[in-house]
Amino acid sequence: MALPAAEQAAPPAGPAAPGSAGAAPGRRRRRQVQPYLLLIPAVVLLAAVVGYPLIRLGVISTQGFGLRTLITGRAASVGTANYTAILHDPQLLPVLVRTVVFAATLVAGTVVIGFGAALMMVAAGRKLRVAMMLALLGAWAMPTVASTLVWQWLFQPTYGVVNWLLTQLRVFGDVRQHDFLAGTTSGFVVVWLLVVWISVPFVALTLYAGLSQIPADYYEAAAIDGAGYLRRLRTVTVPFLRPVLMLVTVLSVIWDFNVFNQIWILTKGGPDGATTTIAIWSFTQAFASQSYGQGAAIAVFSVVLLAVLVGWWVRRLVVTGEEA
């Protein structure tokens, strides 16, 4: 039987060419897998540096780990007794409230001042901008302990520069002998100023990098429409910077929630526990009271609490961004 003309003219099917569409799924799969392969070294490093200490911390929090354990190397399991003890501790609620309020004020001050410094660098000339960047990098590069000791000297009674300057300005009268770190409010203010001073450079430089990527056309179009500086800031700058603002805010929450060196060196949690945050409480419970199990339980509790707070904040920002 004769075949139709179309079938007679059709050439026999052969193997697909190497660059044909048949090989495309394989290439797509390789491209999808490659990023994960490149992330494996970082994941392994984080698992070794962060993962193991967290697991070990969780194990210690379920043990009666005390001074005797350090000598004998044996610790009895106590289950959730350490967590029950800290949940029933009368210090828990004041410490939590103090930590949250302190972290919130630190984050607000750091982001607002850092945002203002970034806007100043954008508006400044080249020489002034370079000078500002060098000053910010100098404050950021200084080790925490060294900067805290300098701050302690600045507010020292009798010889403190700040005490002398305030006395000369007649702001609060003669405060040369006044110990600002001994007061509940003034001690927190001094620690707040120090932490913000250390944290602002990262926020300012990061936001400046984000501001430098905003196209000038948008500002020109807004100016043509009659928008003033504040309106351009609200309708152009902030929407473009929202991802960067979310990043620096989340990182600031994590860092400020766990502030330890500055508080411990300046006030050691005093006076009368007025500057004791959850990080200070965990340290004193573990090393001052020799109750390492309860100290570890407080640390685990703070990690879980911080993860919940950061997760809620990120979800809120993402939902707000999608609605916008």
CATH of the domain at 162: 1.10.3720.10
Question: Contact, 178 vs 250, CB < 8 A?
Answer: no
Is residue 258 domain-resident? yes
Is residue 59 domain-resident? no
pTM over 0.85: no
Is residue 41 domain-resident? no
Is residue 118 domain-resident? yes
pLDDT of res. 291? 86
pLDDT of res. 112? 94
Work out how many domains the chain is built from and give that number.
Answer: 1
pLDDT digits (tens, 9 = 90+) for 276-308: 999 999 999 888 878 888 899 999 999 898 888
> How far, in Å, CA of 315 to CA of 78, rounded?
36
Backbone φ and ψ for 210, nearest 5 degrees, come out as: -70, -40
pLDDT of res. 23? 52
pLDDT digits (tens, 9 = 90+) for 71-95: 777 888 888 888 998 999 898 999 9
> What average pLDDT values come out for the chain (324 residues) when binned by 10 residues?
46 49 66 83 86 87 82 82 90 91 93 94 89 90 90 87 88 84 86 92 93 87 85 88 88 89 88 87 86 90 88 74 52
Residue 125, token pair as written in the block: 């000339």
Considering only CA atoms, which of 91, 89, 66, 85 is closest in space to residue 76?
Answer: 66
Domain range for 245 is 89-323
pLDDT of res. 215? 87
Is residue 204 domain-resident? yes
> How far, in Å, CA of 149 to CA of 262, rounded?
9
Question: Where does residue 273 fall: left (phi above 0), alpha (psi -120 to 50 degrees), or beta otherwise?
Answer: left
DSSP label at 16?
A: P
> How far, in Å, CA of 144 to CA of 125, rounded?
31
pLDDT of res. 9? 47
Is residue 43 domain-resident? no
Is residue 67 domain-resident? no
pLDDT of res. 319? 66
